[in-house]
Structure 1
Amino acid sequence: MRIVIVEDEAAIREGMVKLLHQINPQYEVVGKAVDGQSGYELIRSVRPDLIIVDIRMPDMNGLAMIRKLQEEQVRCKVLVISAYSEFEYAREAIELGIINYLLKPLKISELKKALDKVDQEIRRDQHKEYGFSLENIFMGCINGQLKPDAYFHEQTREKYGFTVQEPAELFMVWLGNGYEAQKETAKGLLEHVADHTVKFAANIRELKGWEMLLMILYRQSGGESQLTYFEKSVVPMLCDNLKKPVVCVWRRIEQLLDMSRVLQEMRKDLEWNLCSPDRTLIYREAIQKQQIVPIKYPLELEDRAKRALREKNWEELVLCYERLYEYLVQETHLPSQIKESLIRFNWSLVSSQKEKKEESELHIQKILQRIASADTWSQIKQGMVEFMGILDYSEPKLEEPSVSDLIHRAKVLIRKYYNQGITLEETARKLFVSEEYLSAQFKKETGNTFTETVRKYRIKKVKELLVETHLKMNQIAELAGYSDPKYMSRVFKEEVGMLPTEYRKEVQ
């Protein structure tokens, strides 16, 4: 609770600050004023939850200050503390709607009781403003911003017959790129399900950013789960009436307040669609029962695809991809392993060609990132078609044959981006390997660390600019990827044995 104290006696004013903190450390005194006029200006500025005010003060008394604030629609709770018990003051306070009125000298128990009462009034006002609508309650659970108290639970139970502390079940319908076209139809089907049952109440929310609808099942009769009903009846009905993609995910939660966290987990469970037949309801218990088989990477198929690519035999290459898809779904594998195998397969084809042009390389990176986050085979195959469409745009390979494809690609990235602050972390991410593995392989194959290699390219660029231009040191530093020309000079001296200015004089 944010509080402003308006009191002309300094001892009482400062004593009140200490007393409030002792009563409740959560109380925050956001301002103090010595008279009604300065209090009025302070309150208009900070808009506290509560004003603790004396009545008799210079310039403007406490009640006049409150009246002026009310005329300007500045709404705050008010606790009047006065040494005067005249009826006229009490009557005027009542007219202003002030029901909290304490007489000096204060008793701590009375002050604490009055503050508790104000705190409850503020909470009730906040809840009324919130509206207690089902839409606000469920959206608060979805975004994790709902912070209910006992009064909130009391009101939701009285008004709607449940509280957000009770268990519920969630049914998620993901529509992918067909979301906008099909959401109204899907919503109508789910509303039909909700309207024709007495076993639960339901609330249907649109999650546009995730391209899905969420059906929240609450106030369930006897706590009976609806999993079997949705798996056997609702999912087939949706699949019969909607175009693909339609992926359905189910979870039971211990309380509605857990919804934000659980939705993130359900979003991740979507990828199990890659391992499941069509019209399957994905839920945690079924996932845990699956017998996961590690993938044995199909090297023979990879070699066959490389040969088809070299020979520009596109029909054979497409056939290789079809065989790869079939192989990956013959047994149950982790979705992450399926996508990792696809990415590795694609990188092997890129690596078997000559180095890609810069514009194609960026495109390839984006395609592989989409595959890494794919939830359906249609998303993956769409990426594959796009991927094959750019495979034959190539340029001569400049790296030595003794360097592996991975390190070759890393050195190409360094050459292109050394002056843009490229890092080991960023390079590893682009190549879909760990930082540790790339660092070890780089040192093993080149004899230099990644950082040392970047530095050599930068020093080479500095030398060229020193010799071929009349640019200033700060301009050269920027073009070579250094943010500080002094640091550039220090590194240059370590590498070359002299400062850049000395080097320029010597070679000219």
Structure 2
Amino acid sequence: MLNVLIVDDEKIERMAMRKFMTEWLPECHIVGEAENGKKAVEFARSEQIHLVLMDIQMPGMDGLTAIKQIKASCRHTKFIMLTAYDTFDYAKQAMQEGVKQYLVKPADKDETIAAIRSVVAEIQQEASQRQAATVNQQSKWLEAHVINGQSYTSGEFQQLFPKCEAGLVIAVQRAGGDQLLIDLQQSALFQVVPIQMSGELFTCFIYSDQGPGQLKADVLQAIRAAMTSEQPSPVVGMGHPVSNPLHLQKSAAEAKLSYYQRKKDGGVVRYGFYNTELQSNLLINLPELADDMMLALEEGRREDPLAYYDAFELEGATLSHVKELLILLKSRLRADLAILTISTAAECRQCCEYLFDLYEARTQTVNDIERAKRYIKTHFCENITLEQTSAFVDLSPTYFTKRFKDETGLTFKEYVTTCRLDKIKKLLKDSSLSLKEITYQAGYTDPNYVSRVFKKMVGCSPKEYRKQVVKK
């Protein structure tokens, strides 16, 4: 619902416009009226206004002056000019102030509806773009600080999440997890921020303006409801909710450990919070743990063995247990590294990452294009570039371009487009999201461009494709 302010010095004109919009434009909510520019400015400072229908000629402060002052403090507010003066000078000045629509009274009904809906669509598109940019910024920050352990302050967190009273982290099995994420994002009880992670699982931060107890109940109920659908149910590990943002790293570790607890149990209980009383036997089965970590490395899923390592520590592994695990990994990698001299948990973590780096360095020369493909599949929803991808695999852009085309048969741009179209087709089939929402989730910003590319590559429009797959 968009908030609309009607500004006109004639009361009968304001009443007529209110009646007209109530009858023909239910998506708009009239939050107020103003009889001149000064009162419009005062009103805009006290209420959130998305759209102002502004008369030009009014006593005191005129419409153009009011627009300048409102824009100074409400830069996202849009304006439609309503005037009885059909002069080029007025129109020119209005356009200079960014006014997109200029209606001469008495305006035709269809013309008025079309003008307002055009601006409403622009407002909604810009709001979606701002929201997508905010979520992307939040996601990258969470990955760096909550998932990867960089230090942060409560103040830094509150700047990005000002409405968060309680939050928790969940770890979701990637296979079958996309639909669960869509279901959770549709909830009005909490906010969901996906965190970019490749591999077997991805993580999400969930928060609300309620306390930890209420958030826990709301999230549990939402996941339970989503799991009752006909879609295959993914395994979901849940960290406990916290009100102190500095404790979110613990919630993230709990989510990953809860996930692996359920995987070890064969997925009998598909979702739940971390259970401190449930023994997953990581401590007494170190060879199996080392094998699982190596398998994940061989499949290019570095995040997963790191998650295993974090879960191992969280479960209460002593320094000697961690060193035993590192010795097993060292043996499997045939690495020359002094383990017994390590004396701190931080050194153990550094040693673990060094072993992973060593493995990747050994395999890099033979699978750099495969690594590039995995990088693209993980980041194609972002503003990914050829330069970023070539830098990720330590190749020059020119050499990478040739190698990539030779080994995949596609250019970098064609491969990214293919990944995005696969995502779009999946969302068209498995969700009720609008094309605009799907566009942003697939890494694009313009639904019209997506429609053209989709029709060219797939042979039909997105709308036609959805009808076809739904019938099947």
Return the TM-score normalized by structure 2.
Answer: 0.34
The structure with more radius of gyration: 1
Higher relative contact order (CA 8 A, sep 6+): 2
Return the TM-score normalized by structure 1.
Answer: 0.32
